Amino acid sequence: MAALIFLIIVLVVVLGFTYTNGFHDAANAIATVVSTKVLTPRQAVLMAAIANFIGALGGVAVAKTIGAGMVDANFITVYTVFCAMLAGIIWNLVTWYLGIPSSSSHALIGGLVGAALASAKNNWSVILWSYQKTDPKTGHVAMDGVYHKVIIPMISSPIFGFVGAFIMMGIIFAMIRHWKPYWVNHIFGKAQLFSACYMGWAHGFADGQKTMGIMALALFAGSKSVDWAHVPSIFQFLHTPKFEITTWVKWSCGIAMAMGTYVGGWRIIHTLGHKLVRIKPVHGFAAECTGATILYIAGTLGMPISTTHSITTSIMGVGCARRFSALNYTWVERILWTWVLTIPATACLAYAFMWLMSAAGWDK
């Protein structure tokens, strides 16, 4: 029964991380639409919460990558998942307090890798760096693992975000160069309602799946340690002897993220919408469409890329399309350093938590 209780605690912690992801990354979906005054903050978070929930139910490709494509599940226990999520939550709260738009996705990935390494007693093979994967339906062979699904997208997605938004903004500028400012703001103010919904949906689609994968991994690991023959029937739905993304996992993660989004992350919204660069509806439209499209494509391919990286670099791109001096380079530097440090910091934190649990004998 103790193993079942701890499994339930771990599932609550995973949902807690999902909740912090919602309010931490809410800024990604609504910063531009709030800063341009197209919607009030409360209208924006309500819209984003609904869009996040719908997006979170949109697929499982990223969930499978997170839960079964990065670390060897044979070394994973519920304690591993607990330490990984605890590290991610702490990092999210610290960066949220400082108003820095860091990546919840990379906090999750770093935490999982660090905790897995400690759980495997420093056996580096626990990290699935690069391997071939064959689709059982089509027979198609593709490369999988941390290098292909995390490292390469982590580097390329910010570049695509910046360049894509820069080009899109340049095309829009060419189209509207003879328009009066009133019509530019009026038309793109309306268009930004669509782009903000698109961005909110894409955030749910990309980030909602990541915690689904972690929850499924926790259930799979927990099923090996719990004596299910003596567990009351009301808890039997937690028994998942194989890795799978069940319907209730999808819904619970979607609801947790939507609730977190509704709370909102005003500190980070202020950073993205005011401190980083001053933007108008036309800039917000271009940034949101670019960032959301990158998230959609990557999510379809099962790549757990960062929502924060995609939208932040898109905002930088539209700002530079106006003029390169429009960016606040002090904040750019802070953001970039946070991005560099997120995975190593959460990996070390999770590793330390797992090591302490092992030293205390709590991981038995």
CA atoms within 13 A on the CB side of 271: 27
Tell me the average pLDDT of the chain. 84
What count of residues does the chain have?
364
- Rounded to an integer, the average pLDDT of 228-233 is 84
Residue range 297-328, pLDDT digits in tens: 988 888 888 887 888 889 889 888 888 887 77
pLDDT over 90 (residue 347): yes
**pLDDT at residue 274, as a whole number:** 54
- CA 345 – CA 159 distance, rounded (Å): 23
**pLDDT at residue 1, as a whole number:** 73
**pLDDT at residue 271, as a whole number:** 58
Q: 35 or 259, which is more confident?
A: 259
The winner for highest mean pLDDT among 36-45, 82-91, 209-218, 330-339 is 82-91
- Rounded to an integer, the average pLDDT of 245-267 is 81
**pLDDT at residue 164, as a whole number:** 94
Number of other residues whose CB lies within 10 A of the CB of residue 319: 25
**pLDDT at residue 12, as a whole number:** 93
- Rounded to an integer, the average pLDDT of 175-196 is 89
The two tokens of residue 301 are 């391919």
Q: 362 or 168, which is more confident?
A: 168
What is the value of pTM for the model shown?
0.83
- Rounded to an integer, the average pLDDT of 134-149 is 77
Q: 168 or 56, which is more confident?
A: 168
Hey, is 333 helix, strand or coil? Answer: helix
Residues β-bridged to residue 71: 127
Whether 108 and 92 have beta carbons less than 8 Å apart is answered as no
The winner for highest mean pLDDT among 60-74, 174-188, 213-227, 268-282 is 174-188
**pLDDT at residue 268, as a whole number:** 62
**pLDDT at residue 278, as a whole number:** 72
User: What percent of the chain clears pLDDT 70, i.e. is strictly above it?
Assistant: 92
Q: 262 or 25, which is more confident?
A: 262
Q: What is the DSSP string of 165-229?
A: HHHHHHHHHHHHTTS-HHHHHHHHHHHHHHHHHHHHHHHHHHHHHHHHHHHHHHHHHHHHHS-GG
